[in-house]
Amino acid sequence: MAARTGKQFIEGLKDDREIWLGNERVKDVTTHPVLSGSVRGMAGYFDWQHTYADDCLVPDPVTGEPMNASLIVPRNAEDLEKRHRAFERFARYSCGMLGRTPDYVNVTLAGFVARKDIFTAKGDTTSYDRLHAFYREVVEKDLSMTHTIIQPAIDKSIGELMGLNGDIALKAVGRTDEGVIVRGAKILATLGPFADEIFVYPAGPLPPGSPVEHALMFSIPVKTKGVIQVCRDHYGTTASQADQSFSSRFDEQDTYVIFDDVLVPHERMFIDCDLDAYNNLRAAGWAANVFQQTSTRAAVKLEFAYDLCTKMAKIMNVEKKPDVAMRLGELWSYSQLTRAATRAAMIDARDWGSGAFFCDDRPLRAVRAQMPGWMARMSELVKSIGAHNLLATPSLEAFNNPAMQPLLDKYMPSANGKDAEERARIFRLAWDFVGSALGARVDLYEHFYLASQPTNFIREHMQTLAEGGFGVLDEYLAQQG
């Protein structure tokens, strides 16, 4: 089965996965009253790839069947261009509100597959063969993957694998003929309850001297015995799509994952207690590969925010008022800087080794480091432009009520000649975007999903320091004689 439909995606979720929501073990995520709206939203993504097949699907080079373009193993500029079109189209499905549509982890996996050299550095191809076989399974079954890669550092005063942190962190604790037994936790797994596979791979290098048992990379079905997912409160609602366009469909959920003595079959273990492979993988172009997807989503989301804010301003007749125009221009600049960085990164793409053709990572890393700040500012701008109007928003169902409708039409119209219903629709959408419970969660997501802003700034400076800076100062000083 190649590129699935929404219906096929939903069928795939009907199993005995262990998902806890509050104190309830969810029997079936697809029919659960609180979660089913999210299932519908994610099913829509799978239908979307067929609706926009020209952008989202490419022929699988092995079978010729349609395949999600995010699974292309990138070998040249044309591959990057094709998958860029898919990222763009997928981001437009939710206007960037869904951070973890399956193309995110697909592109990660395809990037790892492109770096065969890292897995075969010691002359053994077993790990790579397993990874490649898994990749083929993802392509042919169009599986949806979550990833969970961060150690649950509970005590932030010590290292991520020290003391209590090390006790809780995921590690190999035993072996059988069938595979490796793993125990411990990881944070978080966005999309976890709605994924087919849970993919664990290196988040960053482990400190020198770390126990090798933590150096793991594998993927297993979400339904595997012992994989326990603890949900946060769900912010998806049962409201109509018209009233809460995002919250009714796009809460992708974030779970805390416990691996309670889980058997990982050998054929699904890609890095088995190998510190070198673990520590080298991320430096082998991970950011250059994945940030093409994340920056494309960010650009779409920022452009959506610009359009939304401009529409709100027009409804109030203030789109040319200097203080509002200044804020709209600020928002525009974030969106276009993100676009420009993505395009520049694609233009300067190169072979990173082993024929892996990834973007130039520098513009993408720069944008990534800024993005938590830009997204926070975006939320602030939506709120400052929308102001009280974000709450003066009758339900769209109220317009069907003969007693309410004339009142709403008379007292809550737009300033620009559009009707009251249009006004309510736009301001409701804006509130759902940044002010609802889901909006607050998405704000947190943007702050942390690719590490916090301080972590990014520090990392980029340290890398540039190690590379010797830009050389501009030395060149100038040399001119002075």
Ligand X SMILES: Cc1cc2nc3c(=O)[nH]c(=O)nc-3n(C[C@H](O)[C@H](O)[C@H](O)COP(=O)(O)OP(=O)(O)OC[C@H]3O[C@@H](n4cnc5c(N)ncnc54)[C@H](O)[C@@H]3O)c2cc1C
Please give the residue ranges that form the binding site for ligand X (CB under 6 A). 147-150, 187-190, 254, 444-445, 448-449, 451-455, 458
Question: Smallest gap, in angstroms, from Cβ of residue 3 to ligand X?
Answer: 23
The two tokens of residue 426 are 């736009």
The two tokens of residue 53 are 């097949």
CA distance 257 to 216: 15
- 87 or 449, CB closer to ligand X? 449
- 145 or 420, CB closer to ligand X? 145
The two tokens of residue 308 are 């939304």
Question: Smallest gap, in angstroms, from Cβ of residue 452 to ligand X?
Answer: 4
Identify whether the C-beta of residue 216 lies closer than 8 Å to the C-beta of residue 273: yes
**Within a 10 A sphere around the Cβ of 245, how many other Cβ atoms?**
19
The two tokens of residue 316 are 């109030």
- 332 or 448, CB closer to ligand X? 448
Sheet containing 24-25: which strands, arranged edge to edge? 24-25, 18-21, 227-231, 254-265, 179-190, 171-175
Question: Smallest gap, in angstroms, from Cβ of residue 453 to ligand X?
Answer: 6
DSSP class of residue 212? G
- 45 or 357, CB closer to ligand X? 45
**Within a 10 A sphere around the Cβ of 92, how many other Cβ atoms?**
17
Question: Smallest gap, in angstroms, from Cβ of residue 437 to ligand X?
Answer: 13
Question: Smallest gap, in angstroms, from Cβ of residue 372 to ligand X?
Answer: 8
Question: Smallest gap, in angstroms, from Cβ of residue 155 to ligand X?
Answer: 12
CA distance 398 to 407: 10
Reduced to 3 states, what is the DSSP secondary structure of residue 145?
A: strand
CA distance 158 to 102: 34
Question: Smallest gap, in angstroms, from Cβ of residue 252 to ligand X?
Answer: 9
- 52 or 448, CB closer to ligand X? 448
Amino acid, res. 338: T
- 1 or 458, CB closer to ligand X? 458
CA distance 471 to 38: 50
- 99 or 363, CB closer to ligand X? 99
DSSP class of residue 389? G
Identify whether the C-beta of residue 186 lies closer than 8 Å to the C-beta of residue 257: yes
The runs of H, that is alpha helices, within 387-436 are 405-411, 420-434
Tokens 């699904």 -> residue:
268
Closest-CA residue to 97 (of 433, 425, 452): 433
Question: Smallest gap, in angstroms, from Cβ of residue 49 to ligand X?
Answer: 21
Identify whether the C-beta of residue 90 lies closer than 8 Å to the C-beta of residue 99: no
Reduced to 3 states, what is the DSSP secondary structure of residue 266?
A: helix
- 242 or 451, CB closer to ligand X? 451
Question: Smallest gap, in angstroms, from Cβ of residue 254 to ligand X?
Answer: 4
- 256 or 427, CB closer to ligand X? 256
- 287 or 349, CB closer to ligand X? 287
Identify whether the C-beta of residue 341 lies closer than 8 Å to the C-beta of residue 295: yes
Reduced to 3 states, what is the DSSP secondary structure of residue 1?
A: coil
Tokens 């799509």 -> residue:
241
Question: Smallest gap, in angstroms, from Cβ of residue 455 to ligand X?
Answer: 5
